[in-house]
Amino acid sequence: MKTIRFLLNGKEASIEVEDNETLLCALRERLGITSVKEGCGIGECGTCTVLVDDEPHYSCLTLASKANGRDIKTVEYLSSSGVLHPLQEAFIRSGAVQCGYCTPAMLLSAYSLLLRNANPDAHDIKEAISGNLCRCTGYIQIEEAIKNAAEICKCNGQD
C-alpha cells in the first residue's frame, strides 16, 4: 500500500492504494466515483476514460499510483460549478444518450477535445471519440452534440 495525492475534480484527494491497483478500481471502490465505468478491463472499450492532466486515459490500464501528483477529472467535474456544462446540455438535447453506460466517458473525451481544439470539424470529433465504444447510438447524435456544444462554448468563451 502507498499513499497517493492528486487533484480530483479540482479538489485535493489522498488515498492509500495497492501497488497493482488500477485507477479505475481506486476511483470506484475507494472514492465511490461510479461514473467511471468498467466495460472490458483491457483498454478496448473506453467506458473507463478519465482525464489525466486533461488528456483522456483508460483508467483500467492506468495504475492508481501513476495518479500521484496529477490532475484527475471525471464527469462530475463538468457540472462542478452547479450548472450543466454545454456538452452535457447538448448530449441531453441531441439525443446522444441512450443506455448511458458510455456517456460519462464520451463526455470526457469530448471535453478534452474542446480544450485542445475549439473549432473541431467532423473528422476531429470522430477521431476524438474513436476510443470510446457505444453500442446504442451509432455515434451520430453524440457527434452532433459535441459540434453543438463547441459552438456554444465558443460563444460563451468557456472551456
Partner 1 sequence: MFIGQDITRVDALDKVLGKAAFAHDLTKNNMLFACVVRSSRPHAVLKRIDVSAARALEGVVKIISHEDIPGENLFGAIKKDQPFLAAGRVRYKGEAILIVVAATEETARRASELVRIEYEDLENISDPFLSIQSPVLIHDGGNLLSHRKVIKGDAAKAFESSDVIVENTYSTTWIDHAYMETEAGLGYLDDRGRMVVASSTQNIHYKMKEISRLLAIPPEEVRVIQATTGGGFGGKLDVTVEGYLALAVWHTKRPVFMRYTREESLLAQTKRHPLYIVYKTGARKDGSLTAVEVNIVGDTGPYNSYGETVCLRAAVHATGPYEVPNVLVNSRMFYTNNPVAGAMRGFGVPQLALAHESQLDEIAGLIGMDPLDIRMKNALKRGSLTATSQVLNHSAGLLETLKAIEPAWRERRKERPGSGFGLGCMYYGIGNTGISNPSSCYLTLTPEGRVEMHSGVCDIGQGSDTVLLQILCDALGMEEMGIDLVRGDTDTSYDAGSTSASRQTYISGMAVCDAAQKLKKYLKEQGYYDGKPLKDICRDAADKGVPIFEGYFDPPTTAPDPETSQGAPYATYAFATHMTEVDVDEVTGVCKAVKVHAAHDVGRAINVSNVKGQIYGGVAMGIGLALMEEFIPGKSESFDNYYLPTSMDMPEVEAMIVEDREPTGPFGAKGVGEPALIPQAAAVVNAIYDATGIRMRQLPCDIERLKLALEKDKENKR
Minimum distance, C-beta of residue 11 to partner 1, in the bound complex (Å): 16
Judged by CB, which is closer to partner 1: 5, or 44?
44
Pick the closer one to partner 1 by CB: 29 or 69.
29
Q: Which of 52, 112, 66, 125 is nearest to 85 (CA)?
A: 112
Select 59 or 74, whichever has its Cβ closest to partner 1. 74
> Containing H/E element for 4?
strand 2-8
Q: Pull the grid cell for residue 112.
A: 478534452
As measured in angstroms, the least distance from the Cβ of 135 to partner 1 is 5
Can you tell me the distance from the alpha carbon of 122 to that of 101, in angstroms, rounded to the nearest whole number? 23
Of the candidates 68, 107, 104, which has an alpha carbon nearest to the alpha carbon of residue 87? 107
Q: How far from 153 is each of 1, 75, 88, 89, 138, CA to CA, in Å?
A: 42, 17, 12, 11, 24
**Cell, residue 117:** 481544439
Nearest CB to partner 1, comparing residues 69 and 83: 83
Min separation Cβ 21 and partner 1, Å: 11
Least separation, in Å, of the C-beta of 98 and partner 1?
Answer: 4
Q: Which residues in this chain contact partner 1 in the complex, by CB under 8 A?
A: 33-42, 44-45, 47, 74-76, 79, 84, 88, 91-95, 97-104, 107, 125-127, 129-143
For partner 1, give the closer residue by CB, 136 or 152: 136
CB of 150 to partner 1, least distance (A): 16
